[in-house]
Amino acid sequence: MHRRLRLNSSGIEMASKLILVFVLLGANVTTTDAFAQQVSNSFAQTTRVENLSPQTLIKIIDRYRGKPYENFRRFVLDLYLTGKPMLSLEQHNAIGDFAANKRISPAEAFVVHRLLGVYTRLKYGGEARRMLAKLVSIPSVRQDGVEQHKNANFIRLEKTIAAYAKEFKLKYKNIGGRVYEVSLPGKGGVQIGLHAHGDVVPVNPDLWKLEDGTKLDPFKMTQVGNKLYGRGTQDDKNGIVASMIAMRIIKEENIKLFNSFKLLIDTTEETTSTAIPYYFKRHAKPLYNIALDGNYPVVIAEKGFGLLFARIPVRRSNGAGNQLVSVSGGLAVNQIPKASQAVIKTAAPERLAARLNDLAGKFVDHNGGDFTVVATPQSGAVILNVTGVSAHSSDPGSGVNPVSRMFLFIHTLRKDGLVEENHVTLAANFISENIGLDYFGTQFGVNFTHPFMGPLTAAVTQVKQDDKVLEVAINFRIPVGKPLAEIETVVMTRVDQWNLNNGSVMDFEFDADEAMYRDPDGRWLGVLLDIASENLALPKQFGSSSAGTSVHFLPNGIQFGLAMPNEKYTGHNANEFKTIDQFLLDLQIVTEAMMRIGLMRNLD
């Protein structure tokens, strides 16, 4: 007697799963050029598949975290076999067809590309953090009088990156010690430049302290809760890590991209900006350029960078009263510092300090109450410390500028006859009459706002003094909308008139670059916008940045992360940090982006 085998729907599904396992185990999983070969454009008009949402990705990450996989296809297979409740029917079918080496549509391939990003963070998230910690431990700060490529810390940084490139089996070149090039060749498409930088702005270690009193070492990455503290965690050593880990996973999975990628690691982005021009005198410019050194989702405009230097010779006061002998504040011209300081020579330090602290309380209350001014008596002097909130100078409104506030307080002291006139009080007069606490260039007469790029800003970022000269730096960020020559003329006319009114005591130097404003057309930009906005739940809108990057003057240059546009940027700040969640998202997003645009036959 023969009995017919009957399968219900669950039995059929289980049989299908077993067949898929046998198919995959019999397939050559070491060659995954099928990422490109499996995609069939014939499905483009008929197959509609929504990509994986952030909510779904969180569920996948939570469920498969810590599981070892031989390769990406095994991860996809496991997700197909055990993760169906988390997926839509179309998504589940897509990854099943991919795992079985079947033809899939472009929309189905996009789901797979997103999963590769997830797989990258699951497999290499811990290693990526260790890599970031190692890069942060190298104090790659400019040293006065030493060319960057001869700086011992940059030589150490170069050797470290070269070792990682070798470990990841990536092509590597050291271009004169100025730019470190890491390459992932394609199969004949165009060259796409990825841009990050290994130099960082200077630090004042005394200011790296949390609200609970915990002291931080700026060059030792420290985890506190969900935050990774350290100089370069946000700006921009995380960009190096995300790019190289994404390249590594693509290389390991033997994925054959159509377009080529070159990661160009700049060593002078924060200072002279001479490394990238040096590189391009010797190498062709990529046709498309992506800075991983700005904001998500996709930034197509950068304000022009300008600097006004005001210099005045050091001179002693003529009177016998209290004398300002020095001022300092800021370690870089593109940084709003956290603190500034003035030293006042006096015969009665206790009495003067008490008087200054009384005036300081009123001054602070009158000007917002969000900073401190403290006078401390010492032998023959009073130390005046002004503490604000540090920020990137491209967004001065996110900080509280202690330098401008120090100068305004000094100007008040001079008017009250508490300090003698000298070079410091003249500098304070200049700042008071031309900047004040405003940072929109209003008193200079150049304030305006572009509807997309936002307002012009002008912030006092640094004051320094040696035996001969006191120098004040004012950092301008200039959108499109007014001719640069017109802005320069207005500024210089204003300062020349001030100089004339005050006995020609200062020398001035002003220089500025044009703003960058890209045409947002191009399929590749739409792809990047989709990836970032979908993964981060951001509006699908192109953005503008007040900060400049290495791609400012390059063909098709744009920013693609790695900072969130609606959060304060921590780069250039004391206590700079990157959240762990965002760091892992960066790995995921950069990997997906490289896959998507790396396989595109036409980017325009």
Compute the residue count for the chain.
Answer: 604
- 485 membership: H or E segment, kind and range: helix 484-501
Q: pLDDT value at position 320? A: 82
Q: What is the pLDDT of residues 118-166, one digit of tens each?
A: 999 999 999 999 999 999 999 999 999 999 999 999 999 999 999 999 9
Helix then strand then coil, in percent of the chain rounded to 5, is: 40, 20, 40
Amino acid at 103: R
**Phi, psi (degrees; rounded to nearest 5) at 516:** -105, 130
CB atoms inside a 10 Å sphere around CB 288: 24
Q: What is the pLDDT of residues 22-36, one digit of tens each?
A: 444 444 443 445 566
Residues 6+ apart with CB under 8 A from 437: 367, 401, 404, 405, 408
- Residue 552 burial class via C-beta count within 10 angstroms: exposed 0-12, middle 13-18, buried 19 and up: buried
**Domain architecture of the chain: domains with CATH:** 118-139+203-230+242-259+280-303+516-598 (3.40.630.10), 305-512 (3.30.70.360)
Residues 503-529: tens digit of each pLDDT: 888 999 999 999 999 999 999 999 999
| CB 121 within 8 Å of CB 588 | yes
Longest CA pairwise span in the chain (Å): 122
Mean pLDDT of 452-481: 97
Q: Which residues pair with 455 in a beta bridge?
A: 449
The DSSP line for 102-158 is --B-HHHHHHHHHHHHHHHHHHHHHHHHHHHHHHHTS-----TTS-GGG-HHHHHHH
Nearest to 356 by CA among 324, 325, 400: 324
From the list 265, 261, 311, the residue with the least C-alpha distance to 286 is: 261
408-430 burial: b if 16+ Cβ within 10 Å, else e: bbbbbbbeeebbbbbbbbbbbbb
Model pTM?
0.90
pLDDT for the residue numbered 23: 47
The residue among 315, 292, 279, 192 whose CA lies nearest residue 583 is 292
Interval 369-424: pLDDT, tens = 999 999 999 999 999 999 999 999 999 999 999 999 999 999 999 999 999 999 99
| The predicted structure's pLDDT at residue 41 | 55
- As a whole number of angstroms, the distance between CA 419 and CA 318 comes to 11
pLDDT at 317: 83
Cα angle value 472/473/479 (rounded, 5°)? 150
